Amino acid sequence: MNPPSTLDDSDAAAAFTPLRPVLIRVAYRMLGSVSDAEDAVQEGFLRWMATDRAAIREPEAWLRRTVTRLCLDQLKSARHRRETYIGPWLPDPVIEDGGSDPDDVTLPLMLALERLSPLERAAFLLHDVFGLDFAEVAATIGREPASCRQLASRARSHVHAERPRFMIERERGLQLAQAFFHASRSGDTTALRAMLADDVSIHSDGGGKRPAAIVPVIGADQVVRLHRALAILFRKYGSQLVRTTFINGLPGFVTREGDGVLQTTALDIDGDRIRAIYIMRNPDKLRHLH
């Protein structure tokens, strides 16, 4: 068989380009890493360019299957890395200018997905999040449709509590994020305490590269005490608000800290009370924000 012509390659690349965003979304939700997701999609593109495209009836389905399978392979090594990770592991922060993500995969849900097996995770995401029928899920992950239905059902039972009951209205979320920034940086513990649920928790990911709590900080009193001490450092070294925004579906903000490195803070809000605070300090996970 003759190799595809240059024009064929050009057409194939043009057909791939509009599919790239959805493939990135699939890969990122599978892996929790922006760079790993981009690598998986790039590898999918290379395989697309090298295959006999005349035999492919549905390019999007073929590419989604290919990228998902690459992610399943990647998860095997990713799980080993996370077992030896220093402190809490959080997914790379993704800034979502539109407010909530259209598929409502918030940061707490992504953390819940981490507790699933790779196949459960794939079945849940492809069916419950991206709306594929179980026949297509089966073709993607190489299992029977009935098995995929069971995988998705088990996953659903594990992550049900982390599906958002309602998404906070965008402007209200940004107001609370701004108020939390000012209270936490100024040391206004009265205002800070009024925003917190009694069982609030802080999860900070430094990856061993920057100072961060090795275990989550639990309880309003502990969170207030921590921020009272941090406020002294903020006043001494500075903490500049870059913007308030939505991060992985949650209201929050981006700051530039005293060491000159970016940091993200995402707030899981129930009503008007903050129930969890997710802080990304690992510089390796913040490079894409620059």
DSSP string computed for 52-79: -GGG-S-HHHHHHHHHHHHHHHHHHHHH
**Three-state SS at 237:** helix
Instruction: Kindly give the pairing relationship between strand 217-218 and strand 262-270.
Output: unpaired
Q: Which fold has domain 107-163?
A: Arc Repressor Mutant, subunit A (1.10.10)
Q: Which of 50-59, 139-148, 255-264 has the lowest mean pLDDT?
A: 50-59
Confidence of residue 164 (pLDDT cuts 50, 70, 90): low
Confidence of residue 201 (pLDDT cuts 50, 70, 90): very high
How much is the mean pLDDT over the chain? Answer: 91
* Average pLDDT over every residue of 11-21: 91
Confidence of residue 103 (pLDDT cuts 50, 70, 90): low
* Average pLDDT over every residue of 280-290: 93
User: Is it the case that residue 122 has pLDDT exceeding 80?
Assistant: yes
pLDDT of residue 167: 76
Residue ranges covered by each domain of the chain: 1-84, 107-163, 170-289
Confidence of residue 188 (pLDDT cuts 50, 70, 90): very high
* Average pLDDT over every residue of 211-222: 96
CA atoms in the 13 A half-sphere facing the CB of 198? 0
Q: What percent of the chain has pLDDT over 70?
A: 93
Instruction: Pick 170-289's CATH classification: 3.40.50.2300, 3.40.50.2000, 3.10.450.50, 2.160.20.80.
Output: 3.10.450.50
pLDDT of residue 78: 74
Confidence of residue 83 (pLDDT cuts 50, 70, 90): confident
Token pair of 216, please?
């989550």
Radius of gyration (Cα) for the chain, nearest Å? 21
pLDDT of residue 2: 45
pTM to 2 decimals?
A: 0.90
pLDDT of residue 1: 42
User: Is it the case that residue 81 has pLDDT exceeding 80?
Assistant: no
Q: How far is CA 151 from the centre of its chain?
A: 21
Rounded distance, CA 276 to CA 71, Å? Answer: 28
Beta bridge partners of 251: 246
User: Is it the case that residue 117 has pLDDT exceeding 50?
Assistant: yes
Beta bridge partners of 243: 254
**Beta sheet of 196-205, edge-to-edge order:** 217-218, 196-205, 273-280, 262-270, 250-257, 239-247
pLDDT of residue 8: 77
Rounded distance, CA 102 to CA 83, Å? Answer: 31
Rounded distance, CA 79 to CA 226, Å? Answer: 31
Rounded distance, CA 58 to CA 55, Å? Answer: 9
Q: Which of 76-80, 149-153, 251-255 has the lowest mean pLDDT?
A: 76-80
